[in-house]
Structure formats: C-alpha cells, structure tokens
C-alpha cells in the first residue's frame, strides 16, 4: 500500500522565475526506505517541506496514509510524520537534552511516567544517555543531530523524513545513526524518506528517486543508479569507490566487468583474477 | 615574514574556576610551518574547534604558550593589540554562511577589511578580486547573499576571510553539508589558494579521503589531547590504532586492507584510488588484462 502519494506537484518561490518543483509525481510504499537524491538546489528540500505541509503547493495533490494534505488535515498528518533537518540548531527548544527529547511527547499529552521511560530509551538508542542533563547548545553538531533523532524516535511516527540529517555526522556517527534507523524501520514498520547526497545513506535505501531542476528524473534501486558513473556527480551523489577503482583499472588496460559491482563484488572479482604465483 | 605557529604545553579550560570547568585541551605541543597543509582529525568533542580558536588568539591558553609569528600568547595576554593576529590568521568557521548578513554579496566580502581600517573604496576593490579568486561570478556580487546556493554562500564566506589577506587560512569542516560536486570544488579552491598565494592551510575534517589527497601533516585529537601526529602515510599505516580511536581510513586504503585478506600484497599501503590501481594491476592474471 502506498503511504505517500504525490501527484502532479508544483511549487514556485515568489522571488524566482522558475519552478522549484515542476510536475512531480511518485509514490512510496509503507515500510520502504526511499532516498530522494539530487544536487544542491535541485528541489529536494522544497519537496520535503511540501510533504510535511511547511509550505503549501501551488497545485497538485499529496496524500499521506490515506489522507489528503490540506490546511485542515495538516496537523493530523504531522502526528504521523517525524522530520529531522540538516541543521539541528534550528529545532532545539528544551533547556536540557532530556527536556528537548520530551518536547514532542508533551505536545501530544503523554503522561510524565511514560515520558521519562521513553526519553531514556530514545537517548540510549542514539548513544546520548550520558548527555541527558546537558544543555543542547553545548553539544557538537553530530551530538545535536542524535538528540533531534531521539526526539523523533520518542513519538514513534509512521513516517520518518530525514532532510540531509546525517550530513554533519562523522563517518562512524553516520553509520551508527543509519543502523539505528534501519532497526527502527524494522521494529516499527517505519517508512523512511531520506533526502541525501551521502552515498552510504542512499545505499541503505530500498529505492532512489532522482530529482533535477525540480523535475522527477527516474526511480530505481541503488544498484541500478550507482552504475551511472560520472553522471552520479550531476545527480548530487558521489561515484562509489568500486566504480572509481574500476575506472582506474580500466585505464591500466584491465578488462573489468561492465555491470555495477559494489565493493564486495569488486573484491571477489579481483580475487578470482589474481595472478597465482 | 612567514608565520610559524607553535604551541607549548597548552591547556585550556572552559568556564575555568567554576564548578562547571571542563578541560578542553591538555598539554598540547605542536608546530605549523609556513606553506604546510595540516589536517586536524578526531571525533566530535575531541577539542578540534577549541584548538583552532587558539590559532589567532580568539581563545587564550589557560596555561602554556601559543607563538604566532613573533607574538607570544599566554593567559596574561591582554585583548588589546590582538587585531593584527586576526588578520594574519583567518578562520572560516563551520557553516560560515550563517554569518553572512549584508545587503549584497560584495558588501559582505568587503566588511572584514573595513573592520581593519581599510577604506570602503579599497575594500570593495579587494572584495571584487577575492570574489574572482573563489570563483564567484561577477553577476552574483550585487545579489543578496541569501539568494546564493549553499556552495556559493560557502565561497562568499571564504572570500570574506581571504579579503583580510591572511597568511594562514584555517577552515573548520568547510565542505560539511555540501553535495559531492560542491565538496570537490571547495577542496580544489583550497589547494589552488595554497599554491598561488602560498597560504598555510589548517583544515578540520572528517573526510579521510581529503586528508589522504591534500594534507602533508596530520594532527589527531582525542579527548582534548594530541594523540598522534605525522604524515598521512604514517597516520593511516595503523588501522588497528585508528579503529581503537574510532577514526576511519581513506576509502582506498580500507579497500587495500580488505584486498590483503584476499591474497594481494602492498609494498606501501595505498592512500588513493590511483595508488591502489597502480599496485593491483601487476598482480592480476593475463586473462584479466585486455589486449586492445
């Protein structure tokens, strides 16, 4: 079942001559992880803001969990969607880390005892328990992002939207957060929509939606997108290491396979092609 | 005169003398020589940002000394007369676009030099030249900085620091949040500035590939201490140590270690894809080499 349906969506900023979102349609199945990719300025973040009703589309239709997004339904729909932005400074409200994680639940009238348990659990899941009583302002960028994620985890939404949410984390922090999200997705049958230009985050997705100049370009599995070589740079993604190495080997007259191989696949191919002394 | 920066036994405490005192730097000794490219790596919270704020006396050591050229900074240094240092050592902070504020891009770039007593006319000339240096199109200069893309804003902010004509350029994660193309463009810009203007570069980064590709000295911070220092080749030659300190390897080096498990051998561990391909090719069977 499609949990998110986008039909012929259009949006233009008042100070711009061109459409930021130009007739975009796609749908996302419940329980899927879909990554929206595109270079800076391609319209990815605008799309995310339209999906959560932070801005209203000029035309087109968004349906979330069977309910059409309208000025009347926007609050009900936001109950179902948690969103983490790139810059966590813009989303902090609490005096302490624990207060901040509790904020979303307070808005939803959760009782205090439940809240205390959920805050502790959410902070543990993102590895921030030791910082419970600290001021969010004094945390590093990566730590802040973990706290923001904990706030979302605590309200257990149906849909999680990540707007370049891991771009400030170091590689290990990013892997840890992605693992947490993967686990939550399984446990809660969460639908994840991530807007990203991180290749590792994109590789975690079931499907990728490519956006350019506000237009839908294609939708495919990560493997099918990752064999686009240098074109990936235009899509706002990096070229995977395995493809870069294949390219460098080809320049040295090595007859590498044409189809896309991930790192594991390329290592296997190299092993079988190794000269036995 | 070229500016050397030397730290001797530098300690720094946040909120010193209060019950909330936290030691952010412990006994740091280091040297940054003119023309070098130093990468500062370490986990979040390891003291990297505190360290770089000592490079132009935005922070003064709680104990120990920082020598910047012929100036000696210690905990007794008064805040007066530090301005020349701020001009000599320019810092581009994280998300520098948050600090853009003027009506137009050109005015924003010209703001810094005017703060240092340069006339508005001269500052605007300088700003225009620096905008060219960072590759900002002239048509953009009369626009509001907030109409620029993320990568363009980053360039404008870098141009604003370059307009101070520093000898040392310090960048705190200058590519964070940019897409891969934007990241590559900023790193190429930094490399070119170093070559053409003979700038000393200090770069805080989480991107080990950037460390491998650009730096000639690496400083590793951990819990406020300098835990390792050396060339990228030396730093990345001990994967176990890096793993223990929760640091990564350049992607090509990581793959080389995996290929070692598959029977390949490496005389020196490759740091880049090109080095990896160079060492792999002779180890492949004839059947894998095309005869076109």
Residue B278 in contact with partner chain A when CB distance is under 8 A: yes
Mean pLDDT of A3-23: 92
d(CA B198, CA B34): 8
B28 Cβ contact partners less than 8 Å away, ≥ 6 residues apart? B7, B9, B10, B11, B51, B64, B225, B226
Give the pLDDT score at B238.
92
**B45, A241: Cβ pair inside 8 Å?**
no
Active site residue B138: no
Answer yes or no: is pLDDT of B269 > 80.
yes
Answer yes or no: is pLDDT of B292 > 60.
no
Residue of higher predicted confidence among A149 and A59: A59
**A41, B177: Cβ pair inside 8 Å?**
no
Q: Where are the domains of chain B?
A: 1-81+167-179+198-236, 250-283
Residue for token digits 């290929």?
B259
Mean pLDDT of chain A: 88
Question: Which residue spans within B62-164 are E strands per DSSP?
Answer: 63-68, 71-73, 89-92
Helix, strand, coil: what percent of chain B each, to 5? 40, 20, 35
pLDDT in tens, B123-181: 999 999 999 989 888 888 998 888 887 778 888 999 999 999 999 999 999 988 788 88
Q: Which residue in A40, A142, A273 is closest to B285 by CB distance?
A: A273
Give the right CATH number for A2-236 from 3.40.50.720, 3.90.420.10, 3.40.50.11860, 3.40.50.300: 3.40.50.300
**B288, A233: Cβ pair inside 8 Å?**
no
What ipTM was assigned to the predicted interfaces of this complex? 0.82
pLDDT in tens, B256-266: 999 999 999 99
- Nearest Cα neighbor of B136 from B119, B120, B154 is B154
Residue B180 in contact with partner chain A when CB distance is under 8 A: yes
Give the pLDDT score at B99.
80
Please give the backbone phi and psi of residue A252, each rounded to the nearest 5 degrees, phi first: -100, 25
Q: Cβ(A124)–Cβ(A67) under 8 Å?
A: no
Residues B8, B102, B165, B173: which is the catalytic one?
Answer: B173
Cα distances (angstroms) measured from residue B149 to each of A52, B97, B106: 23, 10, 16
pLDDT in tens, A171-221: 777 887 788 788 878 877 899 999 998 888 898 899 999 999 899 999 999
Confidence of residue A84 (pLDDT cuts 50, 70, 90): confident
Q: Which residue in B180, B248, B259 is closest to A171 by CB distance?
A: B248
Mean pLDDT of B31-45: 92
Contacts of B292 in chain A (CB under 8 A): 253
d(CA A163, CA A191): 14
d(CA B232, CA B229): 9
**A15, B147: Cβ pair inside 8 Å?**
yes
Contacts of B95 in chain A (CB under 8 A): 87
Q: Cβ(B177)–Cβ(A236) under 8 Å?
A: no
Going B158 to B160 to B166 to B170, the CA torsion angle's sign is negative
Q: Cβ(B243)–Cβ(B44) under 8 Å?
A: no
pLDDT in tens, B181-232: 888 889 999 999 999 989 999 999 989 999 999 999 999 999 999 999 999 9
Task: Transcribe A231-277 into DSSP letters.
Answer: HHHHTT-PPPHHHHHHHHHHHTTB---SS---HHHHHHHHHHTBPP-
d(CA A199, CA A209): 13
d(CA B24, CA B47): 6
Cα distances (angstroms) measured from residue A33 to each of A240, B10, B55: 20, 48, 44
Q: Which residue in A164, A171, A253 is closest to B290 by CB distance?
A: A253
Interface of B with A in 224-253 (CB under 8 A): 246-248, 251-252
- Around Cβ B142, how many Cβ atoms within 10 Å? 11
Maximum Cα–Cα distance for chain A, whole Å? 73
In A, minimum Cα distance to B94 occurs at A141
Give the pLDDT score at B32.
96
d(CA B208, CA B42): 11
Residue for token digits 């530090």?
B82
d(CA B279, CA B289): 14
pLDDT in tens, A20-68: 999 999 999 999 999 999 887 788 888 988 998 989 999 999 999 999 9
Give the pLDDT score at A141.
66
In A, minimum Cα distance to B153 occurs at A40
Q: Running DSSP on this structure, what letter comes out for residue B148?
A: S
Q: Where are the domains of chain A?
A: 2-236, 240-277
Per CATH, which fold does B1-81+167-179+198-236 belong to? Answer: Rossmann fold (3.40.50)
Residues of A with CB under 8 A from a CB of B: 15, 39-41, 86-87, 140-143, 164, 167-173, 197, 233-234, 236-238, 241, 244-245, 248-249, 251-255, 263, 267, 270-271, 273-276
Q: Running DSSP on this structure, what letter comes out for residue A202?
A: H
Q: Cβ(A209)–Cβ(A36) under 8 Å?
A: yes
Collapsed DSSP state (helix, strand, coil) of residue A207: strand
Task: Transcribe B38-61 into DSSP letters.
Answer: EEEE--TTSSHHHHHHTTTTSS--
Please give the backbone phi and psi of residue B10, each rounded to the nearest 5 degrees, phi first: -85, 125
Calculate the CA dihedral of residues B218, A137, A180, B175 and round it to 10 degrees. -40
Percent of chain A topping pLDDT 70: 97
d(CA B245, CA B241): 6
Give the pLDDT score at A49.
87
**B177, A164: Cβ pair inside 8 Å?**
yes
pLDDT in tens, B221-253: 999 999 999 999 999 999 999 988 888 899 999
């Amino acid at each position: 079942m499609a949990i998110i349906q986008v039909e012929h969506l259009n949006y233009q900023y008042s100070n711009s001559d061109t459409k930021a979102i130009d007739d975009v349609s796609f749908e996302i199945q419940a329980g899927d992880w879909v990554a929206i990719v595109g270079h800076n300025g391609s319209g990815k973040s605008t799309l995310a803001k339209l999906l959560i009703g932070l801005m209203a589309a000029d035309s087109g239709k968004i349906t979330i969990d069977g309910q059409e997004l309208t000025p009347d339904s926007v609050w009900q729909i936001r109950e179902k969607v948690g969103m983490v932005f790139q810059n966590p400074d813009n989303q902090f409200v609490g005096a302490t880390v624990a207060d901040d994680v509790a904020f979303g639940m307070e808005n939803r009238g959760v009782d205090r005892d439940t809240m205390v348990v959920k805050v502790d659990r959410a902070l543990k899941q993102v590895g921030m328990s030791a910082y419970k009583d600290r001021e969010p302002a004094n945390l590093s960028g990566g730590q802040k992002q973990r706290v923001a994620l904990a706030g979302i985890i605590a309200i257990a939404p149906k849909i999680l939207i990540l707007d370049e949410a891991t771009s400030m984390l170091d590689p290990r922090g990013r892997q840890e957060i992605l693992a947490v999200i993967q686990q939550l997705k399984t446990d809660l049958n969460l639908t994840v929509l991530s807007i990203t230009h991180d290749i590792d985050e994109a590789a975690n997705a079931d499907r990728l939606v490519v956006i350019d100049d506000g237009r839908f370009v294609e939708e495919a599995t990560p493997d099918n997108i990752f064999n686009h070589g240098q074109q990936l740079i235009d899509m706002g993604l990096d070229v995977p290491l395995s493809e870069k190495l294949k390219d460098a080997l080809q320049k040295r007259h090595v007859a590498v396979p044409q189809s896309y191989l991930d790192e594991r696949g390329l290592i296997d191919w190299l092993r079988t092609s190794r000269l036995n002394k | 005169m070229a500016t050397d920066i030397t730290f001797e036994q530098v300690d720094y405490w946040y909120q010193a003398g209060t019950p909330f005192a936290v030691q952010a730097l412990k006994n740091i000794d280091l040297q940054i020589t003119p023309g070098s490219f130093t990468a500062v790596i370490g986990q979040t919270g390891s003291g990297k940002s505190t360290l770089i704020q000592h490079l132009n006396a935005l922070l003064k050591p709680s104990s120990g000394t920082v020598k910047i050229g012929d100036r000696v900074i210690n905990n007794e240094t008064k805040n007066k007369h530090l301005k020349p240092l701020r001009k000599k050592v320019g810092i581009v902070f994280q998300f520098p676009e948050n600090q853009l504020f003027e009506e137009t891009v050109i005015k924003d770039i010209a703001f810094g030099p005017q703060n240092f007593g340069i006339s508005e006319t001269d500052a605007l000339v300088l700003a225009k030249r620096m905008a060219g240096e960072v590759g900002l199109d002239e048509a953009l200069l009369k626009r509001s900085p907030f109409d620029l893309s993320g990568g363009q804003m980053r360039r404008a902010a870098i141009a604003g620091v370059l307009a101070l004509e520093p000898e040392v350029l310090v960048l705190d994660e200058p590519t964070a949040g940019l897409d891969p193309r934007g990241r590559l463009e900023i790193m190429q810009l930094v490399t070119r500035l170093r070559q053409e203007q003979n700038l000393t570069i200090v770069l805080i980064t989480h991107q080990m590939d950037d460390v491998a590709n650009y730096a000639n000295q690496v400083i590793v911070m951990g819990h406020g201490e300098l835990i390792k220092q050396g060339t990228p080749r030396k730093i990345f030659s001990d994967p176990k140590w890096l793993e223990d300190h929760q640091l990564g390897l350049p992607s090509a080096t990581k793959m080389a270690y995996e290929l070692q498990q598959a029977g390949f051998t490496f005389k020196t561990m490759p740091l880049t894809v090109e080095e990896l391909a160079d060492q792999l090719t002779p180890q492949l069977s004839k059947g894998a080499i095309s005869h076109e």
